[in-house]
Amino acid sequence: MKIGLYFGTFNPIHIGHLTIANHLAEHSDLDQVWFVVTPQSPFKTKSSLLDNHQRLEMVYRATKDYTKLRPSDIEFGLKQPNYTIDTLTYLGEKFPEHEFSLIMGEDNLKHFHKWKNYELILENYNIYVYPRLSDGKVNTKFNNHPKIFNISAPIMELSSTFIRQEIKAGRNVRPMLSDNVWHYIDEMNFYK
């Protein structure tokens, strides 16, 4: 099967993430999109980061009604911080029958030249990039790259940081989340 890997902290998963994953699943040759919940991203601090299993639970709840979208806890047992090349190597060994590619927002592509062994990632995997508003420019070495595919998905300007801030301020964030994720966050009193 062709699997698109959507790596993220998902603290929490929101409708921006879901819209992109669903768009890729419906408009590309990918059979499935896996949301890989990252315990510790190399470029992020741990502030207000929920436990891995709670973030995975939210991804599970958000995706359970979508046949092509799956949660993945593959990084939970790997060394932290989680470098994507290490996860890709591990996935290749564990699932030799699958063909993996990466999904990332344009914001992440702008920093991609700083990722561990990014050249190796580009040699071996296709990358689907979707538009996302952010400062800075994509490094020219990634222009017209044969392994990088730009996808014209809808732009949803929303972030987990904004949602966490809104909850802390006591404001309603319900439209930005899947309903069952909103219920879980509310019941558990997360981000208050």
Ligand X SMILES: Nc1ncnc2c1ncn2[C@@H]1O[C@H](COP(=O)(O)OP(=O)(O)OP(=O)(O)O)[C@@H](O)[C@H]1O
Ligand Y SMILES: O=C(O)c1ccc[n+]([C@@H]2O[C@H](COP(=O)([O-])O)[C@@H](O)[C@H]2O)c1
Residues forming contacts to ligand Y in the complex (CB under 6 A) are 7-9, 38, 41-44, 82-85, 108, 115-116
- Partner from ligand X, ligand Y, none contacting 160, C-beta within 5 to 8 A by type: ligand X
Q: 118 to 177, contacts with ligand X by CB under 6 A?
A: 132, 156, 158-161
Name the segment binding ligand X (CB under 6 A); options: 2-10, 60-68, 73-81, 169-177.
2-10
Q: How far is the CB of 128 from ligand Y (least distance, A)?
A: 14
DSSP-based three-state secondary structure for 21: helix
Q: Are the CB atoms for 154 and 131 separated by under 8 Å?
A: no
Q: How far is the CB of 52 from ligand Y (least distance, A)?
A: 12
Q: What are the tokens at 183?
A: 């219920």
Q: Which of 5, 50, 62, 104 binds ligand X (CB under 6 A)?
A: 104
Q: What is the DSSP string of 115-162?
A: STTHHHHHHH--EEEE----SS---GGGTT-TTEEE--PPP----HHH
State the residue for tokens 């992020």: 44
d(CA 101, CA 77): 21
Residues that bind ligand X (CB under 6 A): 8-11, 16-17, 20, 104-105, 107-108, 132, 156, 158-161
